[in-house]
Amino acid sequence: MLTYRKRAAGAALAGVLLLAGATACEGGDKGGTGKAAAPSPAADRSPVRRTADEAAVDALMSAYEKTSAAKSAKVRMAVRVPKPTGALGDPIETTGVQGWDPSVVDLTVKGASAPGLGSGTVRVIGLNGISYVQLPADSPLASGGKRWVKLDLKEPGGTTGALSRLGGLGDAPQQGQDPATLLALMISSPNLKHVGAETVEGADTEHYAGTLTVDELRGDANPVLTPSDRSKLVTAMGTAGIQAYSLEVWVDRAGLPVRTKTTAETPGGTDLAHMQFQVDASYAEYGAAATAQAPPEDETLDLFGMLTKPGEGA
């Protein structure tokens, strides 16, 4: 029974891991400055799979530069992972701060949205590819007063491997991409379009949307991504089993994303054609301090070790 409870809670924790997935992503060629190389105005864009909406491409290139320079923002996210039937489950609600130069997150997850972890809230800190999850006091994963779980997402398999070991979600994609990376992905969309003007979060915004497959990203000479950046993204999508993205962004008058919505499709197994994972994120206060500290090692648990101890069962 104890093993079952731990594994059930581990499956719930797998959903929380999606929120910290961005901390497993290392930046591309940043020239030692921490900032992605800006596109050259005179760059040859002819190899890029152009869309019918050139103005949308130019707008998102400008937004990418401004977002990259901002380096951080406060974020509110609703992450939805699939049920066993393949249908999207209830959203996991999250608030906090996210940084992408350097990569760091400090998020609070509503515990009620992650059954099996216990009551109350769950805190997630992500630093340099390592996630630390603070569990509620009544979590079945808590042991000996230790409530922090350390998860090294840089180990073989990264986030995907962690999800597989926790809850069988081996094909779950890394959903926690930062807004600058999402803008870069959208620029590669062959059907990127300007949807129109909309009011979002009380701000006047322009809404853009597009889709992107792994093959489309692989074959695109994206003007804001170095070949190394693009190769890493292609590899990450392939490792996570992502077949395609549906991407949306709402950009305010300052040229910064106010909201992003990402839906990733992955193979759904023998009985399902595909599965979807969705993140709907709102951003504010760009440049907000994104600092976090790892908890003391003597207050952390090795969850993977707990779940694979002899006698615990596979």
DSSP 21-63: GGGGPPP---TTTTSPPPPPTT---TTS---S-HHHHHHHHHH
Looking at the predicted structure, is the pLDDT value of residue 1 above 60? no
Q: Tell me the per-residue pLDDT of 189-223, one tens digit each, with 9 for 90 and over.
A: 999 999 999 999 899 999 999 999 988 888 877 88
Looking at the predicted structure, is the pLDDT value of residue 289 above 60? yes
Looking at the predicted structure, is the pLDDT value of residue 166 above 50? no
For the residues 1-8, what does the mean pLDDT come to?
48
Q: Burial code of 73-100, b = ≥16 C-beta within 10 A, e = fewer? A: bbbbbbbbbbeeeeeeeebbbbebbbbb
**Model pLDDT, residue 27:** 40
**Model pLDDT, residue 175:** 41
Domain boundaries, the chain: 2-25+48-307
Domain 2-25+48-307 has CATH 2.50.20.20: yes
Dihedral of CA 295/14/21/122: which sign? negative
Question: In the 8-state DSSP scheme, what is residue 152?
Answer: E
Question: In the 8-state DSSP scheme, what is residue 259?
Answer: E
Instruction: Indicate the SS3 state at residue 186.
Output: helix
CB 266 within 8 A of CB 242: yes
Looking at the predicted structure, is the pLDDT value of residue 173 above 80? no
Nearest 10 degrees: Cα torsion 100, 107, 169, 273: -70
Q: Quick one: residue 152, left, alpha or beta (phi over 0 = left, psi -120 to 50 = alpha)?
A: beta
**Model pLDDT, residue 52:** 64
**Model pLDDT, residue 2:** 44
Q: Tell me the per-residue pLDDT of 74-108, one tens digit each, with 9 for 90 and over.
A: 999 888 777 666 677 777 788 999 999 888 889 88
**pTM for this one?**
0.79
Give the DSSP H/E element, type plus range, for residue 192. Answer: none
Q: How far is CA 256 from CA 61, 125, 215, in A?
A: 11, 25, 28
Looking at the predicted structure, is the pLDDT value of residue 280 above 80? yes
